[in-house]
Homo-oligomer: A and B are copies of this chain.
Amino acid sequence: MGGLEETIRGLKYDEKGLIPAVVVDAGTQQVLMVAYMNEASLRETVRTGRTHFWSRSRQKHWMKGESSGHTQDVKAVYTDCDLDTVLVEVVQHGAACHEGYVSCFYRRLGEWEVIAEKVFDPKTVYRKRDGR
């Protein structure tokens, strides 16, 4: 893990120690969500094979699916030319979006027309509105 640890440390985190992570479906390449990782959450993502993030609104670590069961199995992690973004290919269980859609990007500009259908009802999956 020495080399991998160094690679993770060598990414460019912002002044809050965060890096944006674009999560895509390993099969279709559809962008499912964008969230933020710090070094610890990226390390935990690689170690466990499940996506982990840092919640800026709740100021805490979270594993995707910890309350919904909609976990993400990690297939590969990439970075970009500037080393300041990561791309995570996953197999998504359930749906990525806590609003019930497969992808968080369910609205198209033009007054954000909803272009997707919900695959679950958030009210039955989450007890609290903010649980993910």
Contact B76 A97 (CB under 8 A): no
Docked Cα-Cα span, A57 to B113, in Å, equals 34
Could you give, for residues 1-39 of chain A, a 1 whenever the CB lies within 8 Å of some chain B CB and a 0 otherwise? 001100110000000000010101000111101100000
Most buried by B among A30, A46, A80, A82: A80
**Does the CB pair B7–A79 fall under 8 Å?**
no
**A85 CB contacts on chain B under 8 angstroms:** 34, 104-105
Q: A94 vs B101: C-alpha distance in the bound complex, in angstroms?
A: 33
Are B31 and A87 within 8 A (Cβ)?
yes
CA distance A110 to B3 in the complex (A): 8
* Cβ contact within 8 Å between A24 and B34: no
Instruction: Please determine whether B76 and A104 come into contact, CB atoms closer than 8 angstroms.
Output: no
CA distance A78 to B31 in the complex (A): 11
Residues of chain A at the chain B interface (Cβ within 8 Å): 3-4, 7-8, 20, 22, 24, 28-31, 33-34, 46, 76-82, 85-87, 97-99, 101, 104-112, 115
